[in-house]
Amino acid sequence: MDVKDKVVIVTGASSGIGLALSKILSEKGAKVALVSRSQEKLNNISKNLKDSFVVVADMSKEDEVRLMVNKVFDHYGSIDILINNAGIGYYASIEDTKIENLRKVFDLNTIGPLVAMQSVIPIMKKQGGGMIINISSGTALMYIPNMSVYSSSKRALGGISLTANEELKNHNIKVSVVYPTITDTNFLQNSIKEQNINLSNRNSQIPEIDSAEYVANKVLESITNGELEVFAHDYMKK
Ligand SMILES: NC(=O)c1ccc[n+]([C@@H]2O[C@H](COP(=O)([O-])OP(=O)(O)OC[C@H]3O[C@@H](n4cnc5c(N)ncnc54)[C@H](OP(=O)(O)O)[C@@H]3O)[C@@H](O)[C@H]2O)c1
C-alpha cells in the first residue's frame, strides 16, 4: 500500500520506534494520528508533522483504546492503517514473576492491540479494506532467560495477528507482524525489572543493535510490500 494521503494510527508515537515511524510516514505524505500518554511530547512532535493529530490514550485501558479510535475516525473520517507499537518490557525470572506485573505487560502488549484491532475492523470493513501492523519482538521467536512474560505477550500478539489475517482476508484487510530485535530506544529504561535481575547476558542471543529508524523502515516495508511477517534480520527467518 502507498501511504500517501492514508490515515495511519501509530501508538507509542512519543519515543523510539513509534516516533521514528511517525516521522517517516509523515515524510511520505501520510496523515498520522500520534498516540501515547504524553500530551506535551506529542504536541511538540505534531508541530513538525503536517496533518498529524494528537490523541492521548493509555493503551492498556480498554475504554481509552476504543475512545482513541473513535477520536481518530471523527477527526479524519477514515482509518487506513493501524500500527500497534506501544509496548513495555519486563525482566523477571519465572520464579520471581509478579502476577500483577504480568497483567500490566499483557494489558499493554497484547490486550490493548487486540482492542484497537476490534475497534478499527468494522471501520476498515465499511471502507473496503485496510492494514493492521503489530509490533512484536524477536524475543517471541526465542527463549531468553528472564524474558518469558514479555516474549509470551509478543508471541500471543503474533498469533492473534496472523489468525486475524486469515479471518479478514475476504474483507481486504491485511494483518502483519514485525519482529524487531535490540533497538536503540528507551525500551530498557522503561521496562519493569524485578529486584536483583541480572541483565548482563541479555544480549547474548542477539548480536547487533539497530537504530529506531532502521526498524521504522522495516515497518514501512511491511506496508508497501504487504509482507505478513517482517524480521529485523534475515537470520531470524525460520
Ligand atoms: N527497543 C527494543 O529493543 C525493542 C525490541 C523488540 C521490540 N520492541 C517493541 O517495539 C515497540 C516500541 O518500543 P520502543 O523500543 O520504541 O520503546 P520506548 O522508547 O520505550 O517507547 C515506548 C512507547 O510506548 C508508549 N507507551 C508506553 N506505555 C504506554 C501506554 N500504557 N499507553 C500508551 N502508550 C504507551 C510510550 O509513550 P508514553 O510513555 O508517552 O505513553 C512510548 O511512545 C514496543 O512494542 C516494544 O516491545 C522494542
Task: State the pLDDT at residue 206.
Answer: 63
Compute, in angstroms, the gap from residue 183 CA to the centroid of ligand 1. 11
| Catalytic annotation present for 150 | yes
Residue nearest to atom 41 of ligand 1 (CA): 37
For residue 231 and ligand 1, the question of a CB distance below 6 A is answered with no
Q: Is 20 in the pocket of ligand 1 (CB under 6 A)?
A: no
pLDDT of residue 234: 87
Confidence of residue 205 (pLDDT cuts 50, 70, 90): low
Among 143, 150, 214, 235, which one carries the catalytic annotation? 150
Cα separation, 155 vs 146, in Å, equals 15
Pairing of strands 53-56, 31-36: parallel
| 86 Cα–ligand 1 center, Å | 4
Percentage, residues of the chain above pLDDT 90? 92
pLDDT, tens digit, 9 for 90 and up, residues 65-113:
999 999 999 999 999 999 999 999 999 999 999 999 999 999 999 999 9
Calculate mean pLDDT across residues 167-180.
Answer: 98
Q: pLDDT at residue 203 above 70?
A: no
**Cα–Cα distance measured from residue 237 to residue 140, given in angstroms and rounded to the nearest whole number:** 12
State if residue 220 touches ligand 1 by the CB under 6 angstroms criterion: no
- Mean pLDDT calculated for residue range 141-164: 97
Q: Residue 33: phi, psi to the nearest 5? A: -90, 115
User: For 8-48, how does the pLDDT look when each residue is reduced to its tens digit (9 = 90+)?
Assistant: 999 999 999 999 999 999 999 999 999 999 999 999 999 99
**For residue 198, what pLDDT is reported?**
76
Q: Is the pLDDT of residue 217 over 90?
A: yes
Buried b (16+ CB within 10 A) or exposed e, 80-101: bbbbbbbbbbbbbeeeebeeeb
**Mean pLDDT in residue range 181-206:** 84
Please report which helix (H) or strand (E) contains residue 34, including its range: strand 31-36
Integer Cα distance of 86 and 13 in angstroms: 8
Q: Is 90 helix (H, G, I), strand (E, B) or coil?
A: strand
What's the pLDDT at 202?
62
Please report which confidence band the pLDDT of residue 204 belongs to, taking 50, 70 and 90 as the band edges.
Answer: low
Residue ranges of domains in the chain, CATH in brackets: 7-236 (3.40.50.720)
For ligand 1, say whether the CB of 84 is within 6 Å of any of its atoms: no
Exposure of 155 by Cβ count < 10 A (0-12 exposed, 13-18 middle, 19+ buried)? middle
Q: Is the CB of 182 under 6 A from ligand 1?
A: yes
Question: How many angstroms does the Cα of residue 96 sit away from the middle of ligand 1?
Answer: 23
The Cα–Cα gap between 14 and 163 comes to: 29
pLDDT at 63: 98
Q: What distance in angstroms lies between residue 87's CA and the mean position of ligand 1's atoms? A: 4
Q: With a cut of 80, say whether residue 238 has pLDDT above it.
A: no
